[in-house]
Amino acid sequence: MEQNTKLLDIHACPLCAGDNFIHFLNTKDFFFTQEDFSLYKCADCNFVFTNPVPTSISKYYETPDYLSHNTNGKGALAWLYYLLREINIKRKYQLVTKYCKQGNILDIGCGTGELLNFFKKNNWLALGVEPNLTAREFAANKYLIDVFEENKLDEFDHGTLDVISMWHVLEHVPDLHRRLSKVSKLLKDDGTIFIAVPNIDSPDSKKYKKYWSALDVPRHLYHFTPATFEHLISKHQLKLVHAEPMKFDSYYVSMLSEKYLKNRLYFLSASYYGYLSNLKAKRNNNYSSMIFVVKKD
Name the residue type at position 12.
A
* Tens digits of residue pLDDT in 162-213: 999 999 999 999 999 999 999 999 999 999 999 999 999 999 999 999 999 9
DSSP three-state, residue 22:
strand
Nearest residue to 71 via CA among 127, 111, 116: 111
pLDDT category of residue 71 using cuts at 50, 70 and 90: low
pLDDT digits (tens, 9 = 90+) for 233-288: 999 999 999 999 999 999 999 999 999 999 999 999 999 999 999 999 999 999 99
- How many domains does the structure of the chain reveal? 1
Does residue 55 belong to any structural domain of this protein?
no
Q: What's the whole-model pTM score?
A: 0.93
pLDDT, mean of residues 80-98: 89
CATH number, domain containing residue 86: 3.40.50.150
Cα atoms in the 13 Å half-sphere on the side-chain side of 222: 24
Pairing of strands 146-148, 125-129: parallel
User: Residue 141 sits in which domain range?
Assistant: 70-296
Within a domain: residue 152? Answer: yes
Angle at CA of residue 250, ends 246 and 255, nearest 5°: 140
Question: Could you tell me if residue 58 is inside a domain?
Answer: no
One DSSP character per residue, 184-216 reads HHHEEEEEEEEEEEE-TTSHHHHHHGGG-GGG-
Quick check: is 43 in a domain? no
> What's the CA gap between 270 and 265, in Å, rounded?
9
Domain presence at residue 148 = yes
Residue 222 CA: distances (Å) to CA of 162, 249, 274: 27, 18, 23
Backbone angles phi, psi at 295, to 5 degrees: -135, 170
Does residue 24 fall inside a structural domain?
no
In the chain, the largest separation of any two C-alpha atoms, in whole Å, equals 52
